[in-house]
Structure 1
Amino acid sequence: MDHSKHKGIVVFSGGSAANSLVDVFGAVRENRRCPLSYVIPISDNGGSSSELIRVFGGPGRLVRLIPDANDDADDSEKAAIKVFFNHRLPKDRHEAKKEWLQIVEANHPLWTNISSAKKELIRSFLNMINFEIMKRLRPSSTFNFSSASIGNLFLTGARLFSGSFESAIYLLSSICRVPDHTSVIPAINTNFTHHISASLADGTTITGQNSISHPSPPQPTRTSSLLEVPSTTTSSSYPSTVPTPDPYKEIHRHTAAPAPTTTHDDTDTIEDANPPGTHPTLRQQNISFSKTLSPSDDLPARISRIWYINPYGAEIRLSANPRVLSALNAADAVIYSIGSLYTSLIPSLILKGVGEALANPRIRWKILILNALNDRETGPSWDAYTAVDFVAAIAKAAAESRGVLKGEVPRSEYKTYVTHMIHLTGPGTPRVDKEVLSELGIECVRVYGRKLEGEEFVRYDEKALVQALEVLMGRGKDGRTVQRSRRNTSEG
């Protein structure tokens, strides 16, 4: 079917959390018969991705859009390929490498039910990344396969072969037969990962997505930078934080002054994809981290701003991938998905061009799906984010993208970037002040969630979320108008 005449949906993906909603967005797309685009950030430097970035210098991320198997003749191959690319190697470093060798040598059960032609095509790129890993092997730098994603390793091999991350995504989509009406677009058109920093309300600066988002054990490094960033840490829990009273002032001072003499530290003896003098935090592996928070893991203050940095820590302003802007210009619905607000959503929204596109009134629905819980980025419990705070953060990022931000965004402009909100009610969910949001011109829809056994919090029910999205956009299967049901209730 030709979808070119139908207005599309653009989803700003919230990282791994948004993977659970892929079927939801797919169902809404199918009912509306329109194109669907996922915009993914490339600033992730945690988990197994951090090792690919450290050694190869580029993004490697698998978006789980591989369609489920149907009743086709090759049903078993579809299922096998989905399992294959979503497979992660063991956490134990030695067991991980052992299993990796079984995969590249085609001796692993994961290859069962994958045809010979596809198997050899996939193996060629896995063997390429394996060759590149061996070629870069040094006493000071060895690749750690712990918890590595096969999909990410494939994407990196394809990127190194083609010289293009988008080409690598296209190849993976072709092998997995992701429908052409669904596209995955990197937020920035680049072969390299761009890192982010965050400033907190108390003047602290945190460098790197993983350090912002997840508590991790202190990793001692002697900070040494071309920018002479002070090495004093504010807390043993934040090995990558340094006090900067005014991040704007610090950035201008560093970029205007001649680069001082570099003092090499231990990180400069490591042979990896990072140039000498790179901020030490960006050279850490960050493979292991905890997503379970305790009060000691709280950030000392709220995040006030996110920006991109070069390898040495200086701020840079980047333009959005032209394909992202094209998708936004052809869309009438934008969805801000669940996930980490400041490290999954905001990095895509602050890019030049995105804010202007979002402000276009031709986009009728700008829907925020509110997180089920506040995390490290939107806590702590004594100052947890409300629904209005989430909207304010999105509006601020979009305004900064447009270059019009001077202080805080007026509340009257929030509806320029967020018109609707879907939320849950239950233990730990962010507080939703429906009267305030209504005064701001933002309609709210509450959906009923579900609890998994052993969990204290509620999750979104997929059927309820599909219905809520269709209610807001007023269109279901065959273009019929969708009525509100008992599964969701309007609060707007």
Structure 2
Amino acid sequence: MECSSLPLLPSRIKRVFYMSSEGRNLLHEVFPTVNPSVLEQLSKVDCILYAMGSLFTSICPSLVLLGIGEIISSRSCPKVLLMNGSHDRETSSLSVSGFVTAITDALNRTYGDSDNCLKNHPNQYINALVVPRDGQIPVDIQCLAAQGIFHVVCTLYHSTMNLVTVDSRFDPKVGTVFDPKCLIQALADVITKFGSFPATEA
């Protein structure tokens, strides 16, 4: 089914959380911790990659787990968000900076129990973006700069940001997608150039 044929949600999703009959608040919310092996791997990797997928039903449920925000914010390595080439029904009104905000809120657990909330800046979680050429999601450069993100890999915009070409192709089922070989090269470039990224605000 093409993305454009999916019905839009009646309102924007604010947050993702887990519920159980044993939850401790009015929403019966629970706060599961991440598998220790995941934390171990995140502590060792050379690059943290947020892959393409449904933002609120695929990506954020893994990010709200206790321990994920803490370990990612502590790492000094490329933390790269791969943008989708088109919207789905969950993200129809979001720009790229809106994706960054949603991921930051999930990792900070912004709207959950205050005892579990973090207050990290967006660029402590994401310090580089890779966007497919001819993608449909607006790349709002000024808002990204305000979030502390200055490394955007795409071909749509020319500014003070570091830009390289990432080719794409059109898939009739899902819309614009990355060209695989070009994406691999773009990620290799991001990792190689990481030392030249602007310093992360703490």
TM range (shorter): 0.7 to 0.9
Relative to its length, the structure with more helix (as a share) is 1
SS class of match (2:17): strand
TM-fit CA distance, 1:440 = 2.8
Indicate if the aligned counterparts of 1:320 and 1:352 stay in contact, CA closer than 8 A. Answer: yes
Change (3 A) 1:456 1:462: closer
Change (3 A) 1:448 1:314: same
Per-residue Cα deviation, 1:185-238 (whole angstroms, up to 9, x for no partner): xxxxxxxxxxxxxxxxxxxxxxxxxxxxxxxxxxxxxxxxxxxxxxxxxxxxxx
Change (3 A) 1:331 1:435: same
Whether 1:327 and 2:34 are equivalent positions in the alignment is no
Indicate if the aligned counterparts of 2:85 and 2:137 stay in contact, CA closer than 8 A. Answer: yes
TM-fit CA distance, 1:329 = 1.3
Equivalent residue, structure 2, for 1:349: 63
Alpha-carbon distance between aligned partners in 2 of 1:403 and 1:331, rounded to the nearest angstrom: 25
Structure 1: stretches of 5+ with no match in the other structure: 1-289, 476-492
TM-fit CA distance, 1:343 = 1.1
Identity %: 32
Q: 1:308 aligns with which of 14, 18, 25?
A: 18
Equivalent residue, structure 2, for 1:445: 153
Which gives a bigger RCO, structure 1 or 2 (Cα 8 Å, sep 6+)? Answer: 2
Alpha-carbon distance between aligned partners in 2 of 1:420 and 1:292, rounded to the nearest angstrom: 26
Whether 1:385 and 2:99 are equivalent positions in the alignment is no
Alpha-carbon distance between aligned partners in 2 of 1:368 and 1:327, rounded to the nearest angstrom: 18
Indicate if the aligned counterparts of 1:333 and 1:363 stay in contact, CA closer than 8 A. Answer: no
TM-fit CA distance, 1:363 = 3.2
Indicate if the aligned counterparts of 1:332 and 1:363 stay in contact, CA closer than 8 A. Answer: no
Q: 1:375 aligns with which of 54, 66, 88?
A: 88
Whether 1:463 and 2:181 are equivalent positions in the alignment is yes
Per-residue Cα deviation, 1:300-347 (whole angstroms, up to 9, x for no partner): 110001101126872211000000111111123100000011111111
TM-fit CA distance, 1:294 = 3.6
Deviating runs (4+, > 6 A) in structure 1? none
Whether 1:420 and 2:128 are equivalent positions in the alignment is yes
Equivalent residue, structure 2, for 1:99: none
TM-fit CA distance, 1:456 = 8.4
Indicate if the aligned counterparts of 2:3 and 2:174 stay in contact, CA closer than 8 A. Answer: no
Alpha-carbon distance between aligned partners in 1 of 2:145 and 2:2, rounded to the nearest angstrom: 34
Structure 2: stretches of 5+ with no match in the other structure: 155-165, 194-202
Whether 1:472 and 2:190 are equivalent positions in the alignment is yes
Change (3 A) 1:470 1:318: same
Change (3 A) 1:404 1:314: closer
Indicate if the aligned counterparts of 1:388 and 1:437 stay in contact, CA closer than 8 A. Answer: yes
Give the root-mean-square deviation of aligned CA atoms: 2.6
Alpha-carbon distance between aligned partners in 1 of 2:103 and 2:33, rounded to the nearest angstrom: 18
SS class of match (1:306): coil
SS class of match (1:359): helix
Per-residue Cα deviation, 1:279-308 (whole angstroms, up to 9, x for no partner): xxxxxxxxxxx775546x211110001101
1:222-371 equivalent positions in 2, closer than 5 A: 294=5, 297-310=7-20, 314-360=28-74, 362-371=75-84
Change (3 A) 1:448 1:357: same
Change (3 A) 1:392 1:316: same
TM-fit CA distance, 1:435 = 3.3
TM-fit CA distance, 1:389 = 0.5
Alpha-carbon distance between aligned partners in 1 of 2:4 and 2:170, rounded to the nearest angstrom: 20
AA in 1 matched with 2:91: T
1:13-412 equivalent positions in 2, closer than 5 A: 294=5, 297-310=7-20, 314-360=28-74, 362-379=75-92, 384-400=93-109, 403-405=116-118
SS class of match (2:130): strand
TM-fit CA distance, 1:425 = 3.1
TM-score by structure 2 length?
0.77
AA in 1 matched with 2:98: D
Alpha-carbon distance between aligned partners in 1 of 2:80 and 2:9, rounded to the nearest angstrom: 28
Alpha-carbon distance between aligned partners in 2 of 1:456 and 1:317, rounded to the nearest angstrom: 33
User: How many positions carry a matched residue from both structures?
Assistant: 174
